Amino acid sequence: MSDLIEAILLGIIQGLTEFLPVSSSGHLELAKVMFGYDKSAEESMLLTVILHAATALSTMVIFRKEIIEIITGLVSFDKEQVDFSGKIILSMIPAAIVGVLFDDHLEALFDRQILLVGLMLVLTGALLFLADQAKNTSKRVSWGNAFIIGIAQMVAILPGISRSGATISTSVLLGIDRTRAAKFSFLMVVPLILGKMAKDILSGEITYAEGELIPLAAGFVAAFVTGLLACTWMIALVKKSKLSYFAYYCFMVAAFAIAKGLGWF
């Protein structure tokens, strides 16, 4: 498979699965195995940074109004926006600590660990199914809720556990309004993605080979466009309590990943 087609396909997978609750990391690992992806860790890291930059940008485009409100609210010391920003920061702490302290150990989990992906997808599916049964969802995000959602985001670092699935499901199970849950889930990850990108870039481990510009650009565009569509779609689906559809999908992909991981085919 050519580098260009490979980058586009991986971009589409990243853009869709970053927002849909099916685990972008798990799907990317599965895709790499299916495509026979044989790039070095450094080359793979560059593509990962590019694709995450695309989905972070798509999030900022979708929530541009909210982001502007947060920034202007912070400048004017608006209590509501200051509180919301504080809760976003609080929710980031668990994942940030784990990411900084255990980064090397975590990277080892993202080396085609298909069996692990399958098992974690089962957990993701179970969470989505439970959340879809929740009825009383009208609360705002409290400080305690923000920290618990942050714990869910921390656990979702594992490949196969959907970050959006874990955080939105946790929010809904805590009784938080579904629209607020989706908004909080998508906004809380942007600073983490940007921070991880900066860390990877500054690490000096990323390499760039001549001729990669076009595939990387194509992957970026594919991830950005599909990210816009998936983010908009996901917000609508959360409002309509359609998470169980994704739970069934996760179970099916989990069965495939477990069978593949065990060498059954």
Over the stretch 130-166, which tens digit does the pLDDT of each residue have?
998 887 778 999 999 999 999 999 999 888 899 999 9
- For 185, list phi and psi in degrees, rounded to 5: -60, -45
Q: What is the pLDDT, as a whole number, of residue 42?
A: 58
**Chain-centre distance of CA 71, in angstroms?**
23
Residue-wise pLDDT for 36-55, tens only, equals 766 655 566 788 888 989 99
Q: Could you give the number of structural domains in the chain?
A: 1
Do residues 22 and 254 touch, judged by C-beta distance below 8 A? Answer: no
Q: What's the first-to-final CA gap in the chain, in angstroms?
A: 21
Q: Are 253 and 161 in contact (CB under 8 A)?
A: no
Instruction: Judge whether residue 103 has pLDDT over 70.
Output: yes
Q: Could you tell me the pTM of the whole model?
A: 0.88
pLDDT at residue 225, rounded to an integer: 97
Task: Give the angle subtended at the CA of 121 by the CAs of 119 and 125, to the nearest 5°.
Answer: 125
- Which among 237, 257, 212 has a CA at the least distance from the CA of 6? 212
* pLDDT of the residue at 253: 95
175 phi and psi angles, rounded to 5 deg: 90, 15
Q: Residue 200: is its pLDDT beyond 60? A: yes
- Answer for the pair 226, 16: CB distance below 8 angstroms, yes or no: yes
Q: How many C-beta atoms lie closer than 10 Å to residue 93's C-beta? A: 15
Residue linked to tokens 């556990």: 161
Percent helix, strand, coil in the chain, to 5, is 80, 0, 20
* Domain enclosing residue 22, as ranges: 3-261
Supply the pLDDT for residue 41: 57
- The count of other CB atoms within 10 Å of the CB of residue 240 is 8
The amino acid at 160: G
DSSP 8-state class, residue 208: -
Q: How far apart are CA 171 and CA 45, in angstroms?
A: 31
